[in-house]
Chains A and B, each alone.
Chain A
Amino acid sequence: MEVTDHELLSQYRRGHVAALETLVERHRRTVFGFILNMTNDYGDAEEVFQEVWFRVIRKIGMYRERNFPGWLVRIARNIIIDRARRRKPDFSLDSESRDGRSPGDVLPGKDPGPRARLAASDLGRKIVAAVAVLPREQKEVFLMRLRAEIPFKEIARIQKVSINTALARMQYALDKLRTLLKDDYEGLASGRL
């Protein structure tokens, strides 16, 4: 049976570095995916990801959450917001990469196959662009669900709103994406990707 996050945290507190490495490995793709899709910049995403784990290491004695991925995403969100405030107008959460490339161009992902083909397609680029222009709060909810599968109850706690507000933000985000992609909707519905 897989060792729980909680047990790994306890092991690290007792001095087992390998336990933290397992945690980083376990949550690497989801947390990095969330950060990358929020920042739309690979360099920024790496810096934020690194800072997330530095903070985890520093604050591990204060960890009281029940949902470890939720804690990681909460830290990542705070760092992203802090950086956005410091770097305005140079850095924006709601626009494309600072170097002018689309997020899809920044890092297409290592795995070939359907993902790479979709990311490289017109439809893939439309989806990336549509997500990029979502208001920040809606994009957060959408990406917390999409990348880290954070429950709505936890998302509501992270955003400090009611669960109904979190659900409404998700609904708005999905409705906007459906509208923006309506011309391609037949392709989505039929799985022709």
Chain B
Amino acid sequence: MTETVKMNCEESRRLSLLADSGELSGGTAGQLEAHLAACDACRAWRDGVRDVFSAAKNALPAGEPSPAVMSRIRAAAERRTGARVILFRQPLFGAIAAAAAAVLIAAGGWLMLAPGKTAPSKHVDRLLVIAAAVSENGVHEPAARNGTEHDQKLRALGAQLLLMEGLVAEESADANLNGAFLAPDA
């Protein structure tokens, strides 16, 4: 075996692993096949590790979790989903939303709202996120889940509150409301 072939052997063994995991592209796969066809040592190595791999698959204990564990996971999943579904129906949510609105309005007035002016949209957006974060943290989960249905509803709630306080134009609030409650089931 020449020095060049030895170097290729090292590479071919790693490529063989990639080929077995389905991660080798066509061109490289062809080069590997060409090498294996010419190199008995690499072919023997590949066959050998396949045998070891297959034997280990059968020899190592597999098993499965007990029904008790599966039940606890199912219960946790139900609790979590239940918390989300009833979130908007709970009196607690109303109280937290009111607190969020207070923060929102105070922050809005302090940050950038001059009397008689409409808030710039980027600031309104930031305030809506603040309202969502306050509400969400107060209920059950960290914030920063932008784009989810839950997040949209919180933003819509914030928009409603801003609208009630006359801090945003009606179109802006409507956009948030429509995004949250009309799609995708409407």
Contacts and interface: CB of A to CB of B under 8 A. Distances in A.
A124 B52 CA distance: 11
A177 B145 CA distance: 45
A85 interface: no
Interface residues of B, number: 43
Given A15-B84, A17-B74, A61-B145, A110 B63 contact: yes
Contacts of A177: 52, 56
Interface residues of A, number: 63
A174 B150 CA distance: 48
Given A57-B77, A127-B55, A110 B148 contact: no
Interface stretch (B35-43, B64-72, B110-118): B64-72
B65 A50 contact: yes
Contact of A28 (B23, B55, B65, B81): B65
A119 interface: yes
A37 interface: yes
A36 B62 contact: yes
B149 interface: yes
Interface in B120-146: 141, 144-145
A135 interface: no
B61 A37 contact: yes
B17 interface: yes
A123 B65 contact: no
Contact of A131 (B17, B60, B145): B60
A61 B62 contact: no
Given A15-B81, A106-B61, A110-B63, A188 B70 contact: no
Contacts of A36: 61-63
Contact of B58 (A21, A45, A118, A189): A118
Interface in A158-193: 164, 167-168, 170-171, 174, 177-178, 181, 185, 188-189, 193
A32 B52 contact: no
A45 B63 CA distance: 10
Given A127-B60, A152-B21, A178 B65 contact: no
B61 A119 contact: yes
B14 interface: yes
Contact of B48 (A15, A152, A185): A185
B148 A20 contact: no
Contacts of B61: 36-37, 103-104, 106-109, 119, 128
A127 B69 contact: no
A167 B17 contact: yes
B181 to A, nearest CB: 14
B49 interface: yes
A86 B102 CA distance: 44
14 contacts: A15-B81, A15-B85, A17-B74, A17-B81, A20-B81, A28-B64, A33-B60, A46-B66, A61-B148, A61-B150, A119-B59, A123-B55, A146-B60, A151-B21
Given A57-B76, A145-B53, A152-B23, 20 more contacts: A13-B149, A20-B81, A29-B64, A32-B62, A36-B62, A36-B63, A37-B61, A49-B65, A57-B73, A109-B63, A111-B62, A114-B58, A119-B59, A127-B55, A146-B53, A152-B18, A174-B49, A181-B55, A188-B48, A189-B51
Interface of A: 12-17, 20-21, 24, 28-29, 32-33, 36-37, 42, 45-46, 49-50, 53-54, 57-58, 61-62, 103-104, 106-111, 114-115, 118-119, 123-124, 127-128, 131, 142, 145-146, 149, 151-153, 164, 167-168, 170-171, 174, 177-178, 181, 185, 188-189, 193
